Amino acid sequence: QAHLAAAPAGPPRRRPTQRPLARLAPAMALPEIEVTEMARSDAESSKGISKWGTWGSPVTKFDWQWSGTEEAYILEGEATITPTGKFASCKEVTIKAGDFCVFPGGMTCIWNVTQKISKFYNYP
């Protein structure tokens, strides 16, 4: 006759549950403003800038947000652009005549126009 061992008294024992380690997603780096010195003839031959819209501003300071990614070729002047809000960790840039720029869509910033500025611009 088989003899069964009696179960220990008390509540049933539970195996400790293992919780997965919290995995932090790597912070997605926000896109930076790209500034590249470029001869106007090169900007024309590679991008066709003369077919783009034009924009200009006197010396002033203002808040701005790009509605989409903008390409621009600076014709004259100078401005310092300081990213703000969730883009505040991005680099401040100074743009001037002869610069080809790419401004990330959605970026908020402050434009400080230090010399009257004009540019060709395009939303590709």
28-72 pLDDT, tens digit per residue, is: 789 999 999 999 999 999 999 999 999 999 999 999 999 999 999
pTM assigned to the model: 0.77
Mean pLDDT over residues 6-17, rounded? 59
Q: Kindly tell me if the per-residue pLDDT of 7 is higher than 60.
A: no
Per the prediction, the chain carries an average pLDDT of: 88
Give the pLDDT confidence score for residue 39 in this predicted structure. Answer: 98
Tens digit of each residue's pLDDT (9 = 90 or more) over 98-112: 999 999 999 999 999
DSSP class of residue 85 equals G
Specify whether the CB–CB gap between 102 and 71 falls below 8 A: yes
Interatomic CA distance for residues 14 and 60, integer angstroms: 70
Interatomic CA distance for residues 26 and 10, integer angstroms: 46
Residue type, 37: E
Would you say the C-alpha torsion 111, 92, 83, 96 has a positive or negative sign? positive
Residue type, 108: T
Copy the structure tokens of residue 62: 């203002």
